[in-house]
Amino acid sequence: LETVPTIKALRSKAEAIRAAEFEKAVSRLGDGLSKKQLKAVEELSKGIVNKLLHGPMTALRCDGTDPEAVGQTLSNMEALERMFQLSQVDVTAMAGKQ
Amino acid sequence: LETVPTIKALRSKAEAIRAAEFEKAVSRLGDGLSKKQLKAVEELSKGIVNKLLHGPMTALRCDGTDPEAVGQTLSNMEALERMFQLSQVDVTAMAGKQ
Amino acid sequence: PAPAAAASVAAVTVAVAAPPAAPTPAPVAAPAVPSTSASPSSSAAVNTLFSMEEEELSSDQIQCKEALRAGKRLLKEKNGAAAMVRFEKALMLSKALADKVQERRAQRGLAASCRLTHQYRQAIKHLERVLEISREIGEYTGDADAYGTMADCYTDMGEFEKAAVYYDKYIERMNRDGPI
Amino acid sequence: PAPAAAASVAAVTVAVAAPPAAPTPAPVAAPAVPSTSASPSSSAAVNTLFSMEEEELSSDQIQCKEALRAGKRLLKEKNGAAAMVRFEKALMLSKALADKVQERRAQRGLAASCRLTHQYRQAIKHLERVLEISREIGEYTGDADAYGTMADCYTDMGEFEKAAVYYDKYIERMNRDGPI
């Protein structure tokens, strides 16, 4: 459960990146797109984020029964918070910064 | 330098995801797109991947002078290889699997 | 809000607004949707009568889309309260039209508006309805998102156990292929 | 391969193919680009003469685009050797046309073809030319990619020190905003 805020922070970070890139693309694409095409482009952006984050997200979830697994989950969490600088995103996350 | 194969493996994994999602989107978008629009969609897909991976990639690079930084880089590497299952992608990477 | 109820509401509304002696096929101007509208459901129902035959989209459908669009714009401007009004309108119209796809959009918009105004319980309720509609129409695009956002809400309320349950559902779905 | 040389090659080719007494503006049919062509540069240069005035794109330009497209398709099919032939053709045409954007595409294609056929040194040379062209035209889209791919090549050859240098350049560029 310690990893819950990290999951949220990682989701927020990824969504911010996705939304910014999507907006940029939409402004470049202009009005020439149908609603359906625009939807397909948005699905593309979400698909990439989801597929890319599936591994890290899975690594943040494990039931807290096996003590070894818990340790690994926590070290995954710390690594992700360092790498994605999530401590700036979420105040409840207490990550070591570089 | 131990992290070099990991960087390559992570790049490969991300590019495979990106290319697959891009192809899927193109088939949904149909022929109604101009070359320029298609380019914008491709740039979108690359932009998301690059921005999302910038953190993890940076975490894999550090000059090997500060012993503490080296240790952290190595633990970042192990976490990334676990999370993205990179040991399957690249044989030269020696990662602990779940 | 069962689907049958929504459908009958639509039927009743149309019946009330449609007196049998009104065959005037006057060329009603394409509605330049008003940005503010006091009583959306009733006025929309009246418009329906006239535009049904001429327009490809009924006035209700146009107003519903317009309300969704305005809501999204307001969400982008982080104006949760104003966005909520638009999405409420879209929700009523979509129910009157028995248009589940639009209703799902309205519910998503309401959830986002509630999050912006820190009404997390209410946001979760709207997202539960989103998932329900997905099952009803057999089309699950955005369900991973919905689970993730519900978990985010539980996280914001400090209910980490519940959040973990919903993050697991989210993670389970995020790697699946969407519709091709 | 200096830019000045490429430009002069194009000038010479055109001059040779363009005898002064040939003002025949015959309506040449839009070229249905042949999928195989023995001597692309010479035949293309001749075509240029006739099509320049009538077509929006010259025959050379069309053939260049067609070669790039065919090369990309072959790359997707993992047929590195066949792809390389197409991209070589596109490279010659783009140089004759002095079209740096197309030349950069051809060089990228050649690099990918070389990687597929494990000619890593050659791939790196093509990517160095890609970066050179970016500087020449002041348009840097894809440079992060190029650095990353060069680093991948060095990794494949076991030259990790070099790879690290190029990964650093790649990482430095990957977070920048592309052209808007």
Q: How far apart are the first and last CA of chain A?
A: 24
Q: Of C108, C110, C132, C122, which Cα lies nearest the Cα of C3?
A: C132
* B1/D152 touch (CB, cutoff 8 Å), yes or no: no
Which of B82-96, C19-33, D131-145, D162-176 shows the lowest mean pLDDT across its residues?
Answer: C19-33
Cα A47 to Cα A42, B11, B17, C127: the distances in Å are 8, 17, 9, 20
Question: Which is more confidently placed, A35 or C38?
Answer: A35
| For residue D114, pLDDT beyond 80 | yes
Which of A92-96, C1-5, D134-138 shows the lowest mean pLDDT across its residues?
Answer: A92-96
What pLDDT score was predicted for residue D153?
Answer: 97
Three-state secondary structure readout of chain D: CCHHHHHHHHHHHHHHHCCCCCCCCCCCCCCCCCCCCCCHHHHHHHHHHHHHHHCCCCHHHHHHHHHHHHHHHHHHCCCHHHHHHHHHHHHHHHHHHCCHHHHHHHHHHHHHHHHHCCCHHHHHHHHHHHHHHHHHHCCCCCHHHHHHHHHHHHHHCCCHHHHHHHHHHHHHHHCCCCCC
What pLDDT score was predicted for residue B10?
Answer: 94
Alpha carbon of A44: minimum distance to chain B alpha carbons (Å): 6
Picking from C148, C156, C164, the nearest residue to A1 by CB comes out as: C164
**Phi, psi for C133 (deg, rounded to 5):** -65, -40
Q: Collect all residues with Cβ–Cβ distance below 8 Å to C154 and sequence separation of at least 6.
A: C120, C124, C160, C162, C163, C166
What is residue B88's DSSP assignment? G
* A4/C174 touch (CB, cutoff 8 Å), yes or no: no
Q: Is B97 on the interface with C (CB under 8 A)?
A: no
Chains B and A touch (3+ CB pairs under 8 A): yes
Token representation of residue C126: 């709207």
What is the interface pTM, i.e. ipTM, of the complex?
Answer: 0.73
What pLDDT score was predicted for residue B72?
Answer: 84
What pLDDT score was predicted for residue A88?
Answer: 56
What pLDDT score was predicted for residue D78?
Answer: 93
Distance CA B52, CA B7 (A): 14
* D178/B47 touch (CB, cutoff 8 Å), yes or no: yes
* B44/A49 touch (CB, cutoff 8 Å), yes or no: no
pTM for the complete prediction? 0.73
Which of B33-47, C103-117, D65-79, D95-109 shows the lowest mean pLDDT across its residues?
Answer: B33-47
Per the prediction, chain B carries an average pLDDT of 83
Q: Is B16 on the interface with A (CB under 8 A)?
A: no
Which of A7-11, A12-16, A77-81, C100-104 shows the lowest mean pLDDT across its residues?
Answer: A77-81
Picking from B1, B8, B61, the nearest residue to D161 by CB comes out as: B1
Say what percent of chain A tops pLDDT 70: 86
Crossing angle for the helix pair D59-76 and D100-116, to the nearest 10 degrees:
30
Measured between CA atoms, the residue of chain C closest to residue B24 is C180
Answer for the pair C114, C85: CB distance below 8 angstroms, yes or no: no
Subunits with 3+ Cβ pairs within 8 Å of A are B, C, D
- For C136-158, what is each residue's pLDDT tens digit? 999 998 999 999 999 999 999 99
Token representation of residue C21: 């002696």
Say what percent of chain B tops pLDDT 90: 43
Measured between CA atoms, the residue of chain D closest to residue A26 is D180
* D175/B51 touch (CB, cutoff 8 Å), yes or no: yes
| For residue D19, pLDDT beyond 90 | no
Distance CA C168, CA C86 (A): 32
Distance CA A92, CA D56 (A): 61
Q: Collect all residues with Cβ–Cβ distance below 8 Å to D95 and sequence separation of at least 6.
A: D6, D9, D10, D103
Measured between CA atoms, the residue of chain A closest to residue C175 is A51
Token representation of residue D72: 């990309």
Distance CA D69, CA D89 (A): 12
Q: Is B10 on the interface with D (CB under 8 A)?
A: no
| For residue A93, pLDDT beyond 50 | no
Distance CA D174, CA D115 (A): 22
Distance CA A64, CA A53 (A): 22
What pLDDT score was predicted for residue B74?
Answer: 87
Q: Is B98 on the interface with C (CB under 8 A)?
A: no
Picking from D156, D168, D174, the nearest residue to B50 by CB comes out as: D174
Alpha carbon of B24: minimum distance to chain C alpha carbons (Å): 7
Q: Is C180 on the interface with B (CB under 8 A)?
A: yes
What pLDDT score was predicted for residue A7?
Answer: 94
Question: Which is more confidently placed, A43 or D37?
Answer: A43
| For residue B92, pLDDT beyond 80 | no
Q: Which residues of chain C have pLDDT under 50?
A: 1-54, 179-180
Q: Which residues does chain A have within 8 Å of residue D180's beta carbon, measured at their own beta carbons?
A: 24, 27-28
* B50/D175 touch (CB, cutoff 8 Å), yes or no: yes
| Confidence grade of residue A16 (pLDDT, cut at 50, 70, 90) | very high
Question: Which is more confidently placed, A6 or A98?
Answer: A6
Distance CA D161, CA D146 (A): 17
| Confidence grade of residue B88 (pLDDT, cut at 50, 70, 90) | low
- For B5-47, what is each residue's pLDDT tens digit? 999 999 999 999 999 999 999 998 877 788 888 889 999 999 9
Q: Which residues does chain A have within 8 Å of residue D177's beta carbon, measured at their own beta carbons?
A: 24
Chains D and C touch (3+ CB pairs under 8 A): no
CA dihedral D128, D131, D136, D140 (to 10 degrees): 170
What pLDDT score was predicted for residue A4?
Answer: 93
